[in-house]
Amino acid sequence: MSDLRITEAFLYMDYLCFRALCCKGPPPARPEYDLVCIGLTGSGKTSLLSKLCSESPENVVSTTGFSIKAVPFQNAILNVKELGGADNIRKYWSRYYQGSQGVIFVLDSASSEDDLETARNELHSALQHPQLCTLPFLILANHQDKPAARSVQEMYFTLLQFNLGETMRGSGSLFSTE
């Protein structure tokens, strides 16, 4: 080992000792927040989280059950529970809500009218759930790059038609993934 590396190692050890003695330990850890990510199958939940984690989008497989990803940011870490959106899994979503500090609801803005109605109903249920109703909601209108995609304004209007507007005011935001 070179003299320079030994000197650097000793300087670093001196720094750690100084921090421990004079500054009462290492710098504080980044705060962690627990979120739940929900939406119908194919809405883009897994792709969104993979992109946020800088993972390759080519190997994305639809989530069956649930998965947990730690999404690191400069000042915080988001621990996101992604819940599968299939019919037979949605009935279990509420079992995973406890401890959540926020909700990400992903909508496929290019979905069929039937799927959009199902998504509206699931969103409405989530907004009214006792464990979620006081939490911040981020509602993403995904798949904006598809030809059949509705604009954010159209999605918001569609949600308003089913009395979600009053529930959403003050508790959520609707964004596109453009």
42 appears as a binding residue in the annotation? yes
63 appears as a binding residue in the annotation? yes
85 appears as a binding residue in the annotation? yes
107 appears as a binding residue in the annotation? no
46 appears as a binding residue in the annotation? yes
Q: b/e map of 33-68 (b: 16 or more CB within 10 Å)?
A: eebbbbbbbbbbbbbbbbeeeeeeeeebeebeebee
129 appears as a binding residue in the annotation? no
Contacts (Cβ under 8 Å, ≥6 apart) of 36: 80, 81, 83, 93, 96, 97, 100, 102, 103, 104, 132
11 appears as a binding residue in the annotation? no
59 appears as a binding residue in the annotation? no
41 appears as a binding residue in the annotation? yes
43 appears as a binding residue in the annotation? yes
114 appears as a binding residue in the annotation? no
91 appears as a binding residue in the annotation? no
Which residue numbers belong to the known binding site for Mg(2+)?
Answer: 46, 63
Which residue numbers belong to the known binding site for GTP?
Answer: 39-46, 85, 142-145
Which residue numbers belong to the known binding site?
Answer: 39-46, 63, 85, 142-145
